[in-house]
Amino acid sequence: MCRSFLRPKIVDGGGLLLQSLPGAFGQDGTYVVVHDHRHDFAARVPLHETFHVYVDRRGVLRTDHELRFWNASVVRLHYKLEAVA
C-alpha cells in the first residue's frame, strides 16, 4: 500500500499548499508500506505531489495538482468545484 504525507502551508491570498517534497526517510513524503504477518516495512519512494487549493476571483474553488517522479513532471491536473443550481 502507498501512503502520502503532505505538508500544509498557507499561501498569499488565503490559498492552501499541500506538498510532499524530496527528503529523508521519516519526513513528509510518499511511502510504500508492506506487512508480512509479523512486521511492517516502509520505504520512501521518489513520488512528489503538490496541491494548490484556492478560490478564484469568481468565487470558484480550484486546485492545481502536480505529480512528479524524481524531478520529472508526470501529470498535471486542474480541478474546480462549482455549486449546481
pLDDT in tens, 2-56: 889 999 999 988 899 999 988 999 999 999 999 988 999 999 999 999 999 999 9
- Can you list the positions of beta strands (E) in the chain? 2-5, 7-11, 15-19, 29-35, 40-45, 47-55, 61-69, 72-81
Mean pLDDT of 48-73: 94
The closest of 40, 62, 48 to 6, measured between CA atoms, is 48
**Residue 23 φ then ψ, to 5°:** 175, -170
What's the rounded Cα separation, in Å, for the pair 19 and 56? 20
**Residue 13, helix vs strand vs coil:** helix
The pLDDT of residue 85 is above 80: no
Give me the pLDDT at residue 74, please.
Answer: 96
- The predicted model scores a pTM of 0.83
